[in-house]
Amino acid sequence: MTTSSTPQILIIIVTWNKKQYVLDLLSSLVMQDYPTAAIDVLVIDNASTDGTAQAVNALFPQVKLLCNQENLGGTGGFNTGLQWAFAQPMDRYQYLWLLDNDVLVHRQALSELVTLLEAKPEAAVAGSTMMQLDYPWRINEMGAFLDRERGYLVLYRHLEPILSWQGVPMSDLLTTDPDLSKRLMHCRLFMDVDYVAAASLLVRAKVASEAGLWRDYFIHYDDVEWCLRIGKMGYQVLVSAKSLIWHLSAAAKVPTWVLYYDNRNILDLLKTHGADVATLKRVTQLILKKAIYYHLIGKPDIAQLHHWAIEDFQTGRFGKRDLKLICQSQNNVQIRQVLLDPTIKRILIAFPVNVHATGIQEALVQAQLQRRELQIDWMPLPDGIKVYQVPCPHFLPPFPVSRLRRWLAYFRLRNRYDLVIQSDYQPIIGLSWLNAKLLFINDEGFCVRNPPQWRNVWHAGWKWLRGFGV
């Protein structure tokens, strides 16, 4: 039941080809303890091809659905929603709640954000504490601060665990007492931050209209820039320790094409918010150093993204860019084809590779059964401990602890293997230079690449030395 004093909320959700995620989110919103009569839901579909729009229309006819003709990214999607909100009568909504389409929300998430802003008239934005969906007892971020000197976000309480929640079913966590101030040392009910993610961001509708639309970043840092803009207007940006959402952690996502947007957009954000020439040069140099790193591990296409990011920032090119990478990811179930390739007879598996998490254990075992000539060597952990992941593995001797001697040991392995399997989450530079094909794998997909080239490293290093014209 609502009263005349109950703030009216417009929920804005942007989605692209995540039909089941958004349907699950819409279902969960019914469970919010905020009066449903005071909530309208607006879904912006970014030209999904998986039937998202049709499913939302069929299952949630009360939801307002706007369909973009192309994928405009998070920026364009939320701007579509904000434009619709700004066109409504001024007093129709008091708050806008921006949500990612793939989050799970605690039943008190919205009510706690509204309560906080109702009590703090000097604040315009309140965000939820983001927990990790893959490790539900662990905090991903409780808001964040911007390191303006080095150009990256400092996530507050990142990876801090709630030990009493380990092993608790997700369904129970969605209804449990969400007050983290009771569970964490020195945790207040709310605190001031530079930014809260639009994964769950409540903003006063009037202030949102005054702040205007997001800068055309396509994805990433658009919500950061908006929060900084609102902060410059004289308002507080708060994060609540009583409003919780769960979102897939960044650690489970291997960055590829998004690195272009990350690097281009952070440069623009810093410039927009007053960074001087020296700061921009320093951050540019850091981006160029990252490009060298990707050449060293054998990912020249990812290195190229960093150079494109700097070029486009300097020429003022923003929005979406058509990014074609030379290496296309394949699903891990397809690794069997690689293992059965007759030209690959000797394989080295780096110690960070978890064949169970990646789902390739059976493929490895079957390949060895079918190909008696196939030799697979396993690296022990740096401390010499052997981690058994398949029957009868052949381990290499422990590698030296000394960094120099360890690199010499890597060098002696040159030309001994046809394929080196590395983890996308923890690649080892020395193993990329064994003159073998490289297979980088994560929990979802893999890419096969050629060995790195010294000339590429040299060119990237030269760009870094001369500052890429900065």
DSSP state of 379: P
Give the pLDDT confidence score for residue 4 in this predicted structure.
Answer: 60
The Cα–Cα gap between 29 and 136 comes to: 19
The predicted pLDDT at position 1 comes to 44
Q: Delineate the domains of the chain, giving CATH numbers in brackets.
A: 9-252 (3.90.550.60), 258-325+456-469 (no CATH), 330-443 (3.40.50)
pLDDT digits 0-9 by tens, 78-137: 999 999 999 999 999 999 999 999 999 999 999 999 999 999 999 999 999 999 998 999
- Flag residues of the chain having pLDDT under 70: 1-4, 250-252, 468-470
Residue 277 falls in which region: left (phi positive, over 0), alpha (psi -120 to 50) or beta: alpha
Helix axes 73-86, 222-232, angle to 10 degrees: 50
AA letter at 422: Q
Instruction: Give 181's DSSP letter.
Output: G
Q: What is the pTM of this model?
A: 0.93
The string of pLDDT tens digits covering residues 403-448 is 999 999 999 999 999 999 999 999 999 999 999 999 999 998 999 9
Cα distances (Å, whole numbers) of residue 469 to 149, 195, 291, 319, 458: 20, 31, 16, 23, 17
Q: Cα(173)–Cα(43) distance, rounded to whole angstroms?
A: 26
What is the pLDDT, as a whole number, of residue 98? 98
